[in-house]
């Protein structure tokens, strides 16, 4: 009679094997849940990373500015006017992001704006609320050199392209924390706390300027980045609750991949020339050009 039941008082070899496998799975779930993860109900204080700030003794503003302003090659002089313009544009963006405030007040305004935007864009089923602890908007601007005319515009041979070499090093960084949400085997099963600091080490690329076509209904200046750019990011990370995993290489690779992907997708800008067309007309021209390109592909 006892053989008709899955489990009997005297376990068989098969019953022992099943019990052993189940106990290992339960033990693994407990280790993951209570060692690395945190439950949805519990709250922990996340200790953020703080990037190198201007108050740090090892941070030297003069060295940063010298590195940005010193000549890199013999072609720098030909683009000095463009570098001055680029620096002014960068300063305007920083000022607007900080609502023209300076010091701590300006940095706090920028931090809140970036945090709000990050939480609008985050995938809510995968990431918990993102807290931005600090941001550094940098002090420099992209440095252009070796301006040259390139006569290989395949779309309109009559319009020569202008090509620059660009290098950008700065103190730009962001420190944030969030949690990765696990919804298996049930919804909100656990959360994996993640703290990150991402800072820019180097960005190098060619920059291509294409002048507007006289035949265009809304003439625009096109600025684009080729796909073969160099991007070096420094990422420091902490993952887990009680047992911390530091500087996980796969996380760094994922972040750099996403930044590269965003630059590849949004690496072309159309500047409408003032007084020669409306923004709506220019947008229509851009959409038409994109549709024609898709048909060719």
H/E element, 231: strand 230-239
289 has pLDDT over 90 = no
Which residue has better confidence, 166 or 1?
166
Q: What is the pLDDT of residues 7-22, one digit of tens each?
A: 445 556 565 555 555 5
Percent of the chain predicted with pLDDT > 90: 32
Q: Tell me the percentage of the chain whose pLDDT exceeds 70.
A: 64
Q: Return the higher-pLDDT residue of 30 and 62.
A: 30
Residue 75 pLDDT more than 90? no
| Angle at CA of residue 154, ends 149 and 160, nearest 5° | 25
Q: Please give the residue that has the higher pLDDT: either 68 or 26.
A: 26
127-150 confidence digits (pLDDT tens)? 899 999 999 999 999 999 888 888
Q: For residue 166, what pLDDT is reported?
A: 93
CA distance 75 to 147: 7
Instruction: Provide the token pair at 285.
Output: 């021209």
For residues 181 and 222, the answer to whether their CB atoms sit within 8 Å is no
Beta strands in 85-229 (DSSP E): 131-136, 143-150, 161-168, 173-182, 190-210, 220-224
The pLDDT of residue 217 is 72
């Amino acid at each position: 009679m006892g053989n008709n039941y899955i489990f009997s008082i005297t376990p068989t070899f098969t019953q022992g094997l099943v019990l052993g496998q189940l106990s290992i799975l339960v033990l693994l779930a407990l280790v993951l849940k209570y060692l690395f993860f945190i439950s949805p109900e519990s709250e922990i204080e996340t200790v953020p990373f703080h990037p190198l700030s201007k108050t740090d003794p090892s941070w030297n503003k003069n060295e940063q500015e010298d590195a940005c302003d010193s000549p890199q090659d013999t072609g720098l002089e030909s683009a000095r006017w463009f570098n001055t313009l680029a620096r002014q544009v960068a300063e305007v963006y920083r000022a607007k992001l900080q609502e023209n405030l300076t010091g701590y007040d300006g940095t706090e305004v920028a931090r809140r704006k970036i945090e709000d935007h990050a939480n609008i864009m985050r995938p809510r089923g995968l990431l918990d609320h993102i807290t931005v602890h600090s941001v550094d908007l940098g002090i420099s601007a992209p440095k252009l050199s070796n301006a040259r005319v390139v006569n290989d515009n395949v779309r309109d041979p009559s319009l020569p392209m202008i090509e620059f070499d660009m290098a950008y090093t700065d103190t730009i960084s962001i420190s944030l924390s969030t949690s990765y949400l696990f919804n298996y085997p049930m919804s909100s099963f656990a959360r994996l706390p993640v703290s990150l600091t991402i800072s820019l080490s180097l960005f190098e690329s060619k920059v291509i300027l294409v002048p507007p076509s006289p035949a265009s209904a809304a003439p625009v200046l096109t600025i684009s980045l080729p796909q073969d750019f160099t991007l070096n990011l420094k990422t420091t990370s902490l993952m887990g609750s009680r047992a911390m995993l530091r500087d996980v290489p796969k996380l760094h690779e994922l972040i750099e991949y996403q930044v590269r992907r965003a630059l590849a997708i949004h690496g072309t800008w159309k500047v409408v020339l003032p007084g020669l067309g409306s923004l709506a007309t220019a947008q229509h021209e851009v959409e038409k050009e994109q549709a024609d390109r898709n048909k060719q592909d």
